[in-house]
Amino acid sequence: MLTSGKVAYEVGGNLDATCFGGIAAVHRLVTKLGLVDQINDGLHLLKVHLPYHESDHVLNLTYNVMCGGTRLEDIERLRHDTAYMNALGADLIPDPTTAGDFCRRFAEDDVVELMEAINAVRPQLWTGRGGDLLAPIAYIDADGTIAPTSGRRKAGMDMSYNRIWGYAPLIVSLANTKEVLYLVNRPGNAPSHQDAASWIDKAIDLVRPHADRVCLRGDTDFSLTANFDRWANKVDFIFGMDNNTALRARAEALAQTCWTRMRRDTPGQNATGQTRARRDNHKQAIVAERGYLNLELNYEDVACFDYQPGKCDRSYRVVALRKNISRSRGEQVLIDEVRYFFYITTRTDLTAEQVVACANQRCDQENIIASLKSGVGALRVPLHDLVSNWAYMVIAALAWNIKSWFAMMMHRKADRRDYIRMEFRRFFNTIILIPAIVTRRARAITIRLIGYNPALDRLFSAWNTTERTRFG
């Protein structure tokens, strides 16, 4: 089916065309939100603006990521794309060396100012097109991760708990819209919860005025009991708790009548409730054949009791999850094992099963972190020290946030939710990577799309909404 005839190449000099036809609609949304002015008002890194302002540098790096760039050097291809610059209304954009120098100008306070400038435009979306996404409860998730590097001369790097050299950024995100609210770079040996309380407080202050109810979620590292009473006065929370001696003793002392069987959604069911046929488990066969230790979950039970941490002035609800696990090695059956997991919460409107399910849903933040690492490349640490890499992380993560903002502008609720959950690379292929001819006049920019894309109706939906909406 694949054939070829005579092929001839020509360079067209009369038309300006680019493969990034969707970037103009994205840039239109960014400018109408007022992000350009917010960045210029909050950041003061350049003594003279000839010709670039702080917003030019920030958006240049962000759009490089949105257009598939994975490193600073990829900016060079955009500098020679006249149609791309016309789509942004630009005559010139910074080169890779200048972009790197801009990131090295940041101090810690400057990075915080940049994050606050970005956060200043979010309420316009949360109170408008994205208002229904924050209902009925807005969930703020916090987690740490590892940004590895093979470099030897990056200041601030250190060895993590699993002996990986790099940095240990903290990520505070809004689960409803998948936005990264705060991204904080730290040395590689920093524990997940280091300085987390102050950034969670900032996230609460940001989200709380625009949501009817806010709930914090985190794993055991974020059970910062010294902050529980203060947080409980403002928001709800669900945190994992360490399986310590006190909690395990309380759980083991509970009567059997206090425990109820945990029922989870059955995986593999279709819309009619029927279970799909599954293929043979080849991994299980190999484990049994070679005599490896095999663990299988038999059932789960849940129970509740009140518990007052040592640094709290009041007690909180603790949900205990008891897992019964069968152990076998080859054909030999060993003694069953019982494991306990604990969750502490202020939520009294949920059953014990629902508390466990809500806490487990926080794991979806791992998908955001994975996108920041692979699709966006925000955690690539291309610069020379902790602060400059922190600045690059925040700027690159802005591309991920813009994806969520653009999705909020779509008309249909189903489209908004689908594109918010969409992986970044797919968003790039469907919305940004569209061939187009760009014509720039004195007061208008015309983008003539010359390639069909099944997602064009979503692009036009978001673009029309952007043009008709008055922000601010």
**pLDDT of 270 above 70:** no
Residue 81 lies in a domain: yes
How confident is the prediction for the chain on average, in pLDDT?
Answer: 93
Higher pLDDT, 10 or 45: 45
Q: What is the pLDDT of residues 86-133, one digit of tens each?
A: 999 999 999 999 999 999 999 999 999 999 999 999 999 999 888 899
Could you give the CA distance from residue 143 to residue 193 in angstroms, rounded to a whole number?
8
pLDDT at 271 over 80: no
| Statement: residue 267 has pLDDT above 70 | no
Distance, CA of 38 to CA of 28 (rounded, Å): 15
The answer, yes or no, to whether residue 14 has pLDDT greater than 90, is no
Query: Within a domain: residue 70?
Result: yes
Higher-pLDDT residue of 252, 442: 252
Q: Is 174 exposed, middle or buried (0-12, 13-18, 19+ CB in 10 A)?
A: buried
Does residue 308 form part of some domain?
no
Task: Give domain status of residue 449, yes or no.
Answer: yes
Backbone angles phi, psi at 217, to 5 degrees: -140, 145
pLDDT at 400 over 60: yes
Percentage of the chain surpassing pLDDT 70? 98
User: Which pLDDT score is estimated for 272?
Assistant: 62
- The continuous run of DSSP H or E covering 42 comes out as helix 35-42
Structure token digits, residue 52: 């670039």
Which range marks the domain in which residue 78 is found?
A: 17-119+381-468
Phi-psi bin for 163: left (phi > 0), alpha (psi -120 to 50), beta?
left
pLDDT of residue 221: 94
426: in domain: yes
Is residue 218 a part of any domain in this protein? no
pTM of the predicted protein model: 0.93
Residue 173 covered by a domain:
no
At 52, the pLDDT band (50, 70, 90 cuts) reads very high
Asked, for residue 346, whether it belongs to a domain, the answer is no
Domain count within the chain: 1
| Token reading at 235 | 């928001």
